[in-house]
Amino acid sequence: MKNIIITGASRGIGYQTALQLAQQGHQVLALSRNEEALQQLKAEAGENLDFLAFDLSKPDANTLLAKVQRLGHVDVLVNNAGLLLVRPFEELTTTDWQHMMAVNLYGPAHLIQILRPFLEKSHGAHILNISSMGGFQGSSKFPGLLGYSTAKAALATLTECLAEEWRDKGIACNCLCLGAVKTEMLAQAFPGYEAPLSSEKMGSFIAYFATEGRHFYNGKVLPVSVSTP
Ligand SMILES: NC(=O)c1ccc[n+]([C@@H]2O[C@H](COP(=O)([O-])OP(=O)(O)OC[C@H]3O[C@@H](n4cnc5c(N)ncnc54)[C@H](OP(=O)(O)O)[C@@H]3O)[C@@H](O)[C@H]2O)c1
């Protein structure tokens, strides 16, 4: 059984992934800002799950380290949290850019840096970054999603570069670019659109990939999509 940290676990895909990993017997540390939702997740998941209110745009390394030290080592980090702002390019402010980059790129990057010593202690760690088809090169693009898609594309490139930099540390790093999944975020991006996948279904795929994907992939950016959008 693995020690797993997952961000964005308060709702949607992250909630389902965290729940299923805990139900499989892994030790899960679930992060997001919404403590009440994390308490509800804990009530459903039981003793295998611990949680921490954590804002990726203002990461508090000390509080996180106190929790992680109890785990001893980290086998899997799932950078699932994401922030979407729907705005035409000409209306994007510096604050909009900063906010989207903070949650979708700098937050995951900083978290990886904080957790590096604990990932190195694992016998085969896996960092799994959750991106979007919007950030997958050559995919269909949609107006209003430029800032979000750009930040997600950067997360995909970070994945490829980090896998190479850390190859000798035995830490694998992969990126899944998700297509449409029925969540609050999708409703914000594409109001009224009926997604072909539920967060439960995608959560079960991510839970599998997070624990087993490193045996088959490293430094890969993979589309996970059955629809457009
Ligand atoms: N749903 C889709 O169709 C779709 C498609 C492509 C990619 N994705 C990606 O899949 C991932 C999960 O998406 P979802 O649809 O489940 O999204 P969601 O329902 O909107 O959930 C987003 C999660 O990110 C967390 N988050 C946002 N800002 C944060 C911050 N500053 N600090 C910490 N956590 C923060 C939220 O937690 P709090 O608000 O509690 O902090 C929440 O748990 C995201 O990376 C998203 O970009 C989703």
| pLDDT for position 103 | 98
| pLDDT for position 110 | 97
Average pLDDT of the segment spanning 46-57: 98
Rounded CA separation 81/32 (Å)? 8
Residue 189 located in a structural domain: yes
Is 148 tagged catalytic?
A: yes
CA of 222 to the centre of ligand 1 (A): 19
Q: How many domains does the structure of the chain reveal?
A: 1
Q: 18 pLDDT band (50/70/90 cuts)?
A: very high
Domain holding 87: CATH number? 3.40.50.720
Average pLDDT of the segment spanning 68-93: 97
Residue 220 is part of which domain span?
3-224
Which percentage of the chain shows pLDDT scores above 90?
100
Ligand 1 pocket at CB < 6 A: 7-14, 32-34, 37, 54-57, 80-83, 103, 130, 132, 178, 180-181, 183-186
Helix, strand, or coil (residue 101): helix
Contacts of 177 (CB under 8 A, 6+ apart): 131, 132, 133, 135, 136, 139, 152, 156, 221, 222, 223, 224, 225
Q: 198 pLDDT band (50/70/90 cuts)?
A: very high
Cα diameter, the chain? 48
| pLDDT for position 160 | 98
| pLDDT for position 132 | 98
| pLDDT for position 107 | 98
pTM beyond cutoff 0.95 = yes
Residue 25 located in a structural domain: yes
Residue 229 located in a structural domain: no
CA of 130 to the centre of ligand 1 (A): 9
DSSP 8-state assignment for residue 121:
T
Residue nearest to atom 44 of ligand 1 (CA): 82
Residue 153 located in a structural domain: yes
In a 13 Å sphere around the CA of 60, the CA atoms on its Cβ side amount to 11
Q: 79 pLDDT band (50/70/90 cuts)?
A: very high
Residue nearest to atom 42 of ligand 1 (CA): 8
Average pLDDT of the segment spanning 73-83: 98
Residue with tokens 């970054």: 129
Q: What is the 3-state secondary structure (H, E, C) of 170-189?
A: CEEEEEEEECCEECHHHHHH
